[in-house]
Amino acid sequence: MQTISENRSFGGVQGVYSHASEACGCEMTFAVYMPPQARQMPVPVLWYLSGLTCTHENAMTKAGLQEHAALHGLAVVFPDTSPRGEGVANDEAYDLGQGAGFYVNATRTPWRPHYRMYDYVVSELRALVLDAFDVEDRHGITGHSMGGHGALTIAMQNPDLYDSLSAFAPIANPTQSDWGRKQLSAYLGDDEAAWGIHDSVLLMGEKGWKGDVLVDQGASDQFLDLLKPETLSEAMARRRQPGVFRMQEGYDHSYFFVNSFAGDHVAWHAERLI
């Protein structure tokens, strides 16, 4: 693991690192915020998964998570959203290929060799973070848009690995959305039976989440047609899933929305992890 940068932030350290990823078969960059409490004792980990077009950097600089992570004593991990590099397949569209890994393990050409963001987040990067940082093996997960989709689907598939869950404006029902059908078809093939474990609405119907879940959605989000929040809200209520679904008046899909509720989400995770 190489250190790309480390900056003092709210008494802790905001670092950016890279490593040769086995899961993705390329060099991967990620960021970790370590709060000041970590100098005394290991702290729990909050995973923040980012949306389409993002790298580790967008949320690290714009979401304002550090202030709240320092207050509560949580580490925050910001993975990249896809494999990267010249030898890695890509597409001209912003929503397929690099920057759009969708948190799945691709099984189809040309994506299969590198696009394994599910394994990367759930296993490889988790092991690296546990090894290289003073953290507890206790994890929460959240994310925005495609990253909200990632957080919900990864947590529901792996209840033993995560103990708190939230999402900002998730792509709720990708098997029924243009943000989803295109990518799941490309990465997993046209047999939709393989898609279901990557759809939070379907997972909510089948298994739900072991704890309670917080979802925030901006009512003025410019991508409501693609995110389909009503499908998740309905699925949560139908299952009697403990949790909170908040429709936030006036907020759009930007980081100004994420930033505005970052404090609530970090507090939510801290209350369940510490």
Question: So which residues are the catalytic ones?
Answer: 145, 221, 253
DSSP state of 124: I
According to CB under 8 A, which one of 25, 254, 264, 274 is a site residue for its own copies? 254
Look-up of token digits 């139908």: 238
Q: Does 66 help bind its own copies (rule: CB under 8 A)?
A: yes
According to CB under 8 A, which one of 2, 109, 176, 220 is a site residue for its own copies? 220
Q: Does 53 help bind its own copies (rule: CB under 8 A)?
A: no
In Å, how far are 24, 122, 203, 239 from 159, measured between CA atoms?
A: 24, 11, 12, 17
DSSP helix/strand/coil, 242: coil
Stretch that binds its own copies, among 139-147, 161-169, 226-234, 248-256 (CB under 8 A): 248-256
Q: Does 7 help bind its own copies (rule: CB under 8 A)?
A: yes
Q: Does 230 help bind its own copies (rule: CB under 8 A)?
A: no
The b-or-e profile of 21-43 (16+ CB within 10 A means b, else e) is bebbbbebbbbbbbbbbbeeeeb
Q: Does 62 help bind its own copies (rule: CB under 8 A)?
A: yes
Phi, psi of 176 (to 5 degrees): -120, 15
Q: How far apart are CA 251 and CA 178, in angstroms?
A: 22
Q: Does 4 help bind its own copies (rule: CB under 8 A)?
A: no
* Interactions with its own copies, residue window 11-40 (CB under 8 A): 11, 14
Binding site for its own copies (CB under 8 A): 7-11, 14, 61-62, 64, 66-67, 218, 220, 248, 250-252, 254-257, 259-260, 263
